[in-house]
Structure 1
């Protein structure tokens, strides 16, 4: 429903923060409300997820889109509710969580409240291999050193096209096969995507 809310941090509670926007105070549950202490009275963008059930209507908020995406993925795991997902994200290191899932590190996951061995195994079964496509920033080895150097050279249109192809469900391995050929072109983001799709369908 809401992608984000931009407003001033007006109140900090152990479970939530209140963001004031145009005279309305939005109560937003966050993984670690006190991480906003230095932002008190300042304007912030909070990326929000609206959680609706028969007897619940709640807003959950995050510092980044990546954190929000990881929250939604954790909610899709059997046995993980909003409270459990928030506890996992409260460490403020979503990258560590992602790596633990990819490395099947159950010992790391069971450290979180409410996550036992069974739930940790379920998280790994449900999410391993699915996170690189939606959270590429947490996978610095998505491309090899030469390709990473090319990405950092400043071709924003190409970078955006790669992210769009990942979001469509193509794997990093498939994209690597066509990225060299794509980089030879000087195209817009849309043209890179179209050309990339043509190459991927032929490969």
Structure 2
């Protein structure tokens, strides 16, 4: 089984990147592909090697924590690889762990592909398996309470707040996120998921 791959991103699609590893191109599905296109340097992705009867797929993550959380999510009935990937595109592992441990259905049901019943199964199946919440943002911030600022009130308790937190976890600065939101907010219809807004914002950030 492949544990990690180290190479250069040579192609980006909305759901995956192509990683050039010694002249072999690996298609790797990852939570936020456009974030990986920001650099031409060699990167390392931690891999979950998923084997089915009809396909062999690679899912890649920038940290061991994401890789571990992805595998834990797959243990939950009703969550497959694509849903687990969507969940991680909208929330960092420590935010997810905290929400599960605190039984925060409001946060969990805002994640892409997660309804109330699935959120309840996540809590039931994972609450006692996640250990201590990893060091990182306080839960209030991780769960989507944005920092104070002109746009904070409008973003509070919204899909954009979750998407913004996830983007901040990728290293984007507040000023960059404010510009991306300014460019997108007039196009938002109100029914977008955090994953959808995140993809739109990443495209905007990638374009500069």
| TM-score interval for Structure 1 and Structure 2 normalised by the shorter chain | 0.5 to 0.7
How far the C-alpha of 1:139 sits from its partner, in A, is: 10
How far the C-alpha of 1:91 sits from its partner, in A, is: 2.1
How far the C-alpha of 1:24 sits from its partner, in A, is: 0.2
SS of the aligned residue for 1:50 comes to strand
Q: Quick one: distance in 1 between partners of 2:9 and 2:76?
A: 31
**Residues 98 and 138 of structure 1 are in contact (CA less than 8 Å); yes or no, is this contact kept in structure 2?**
no
- Normalised by the length of structure 2, the TM-score is 0.63
Higher RCO (CA 8 Å, separation ≥ 6 residues): 2
The residue that corresponds to 1:153 in the other structure is none
Structure with the largest fraction of helix: 1
SS of the aligned residue for 1:131 comes to coil
Provide the aligned C-alpha RMSD in A: 1.8
1:120-158, Cα deviation, whole Å (9 max, x unpaired): 00000000021116x754699xxxxxxxxxxxxxxxxxx
SS of the aligned residue for 1:54 comes to coil
The residue that corresponds to 2:3 in the other structure is 3
The residue that corresponds to 2:120 in the other structure is 121
Counterpart mapping for 1:92-103 below 5 A: 92-103=91-102
The residue that corresponds to 1:175 in the other structure is none
Structure 2, unpaired ranges of 5+ = 139-208
SS of the aligned residue for 1:124 comes to helix
Larger radius of gyration: 1
Count of equivalent residues? 138
- Normalised by the length of structure 1, the TM-score is 0.64
SS of the aligned residue for 1:38 comes to coil
**Residues 132 and 139 of structure 1 are in contact (CA less than 8 Å); yes or no, is this contact kept in structure 2?**
no
* Residue 19 (structure 1) aligned with residue 19 (structure 2): yes
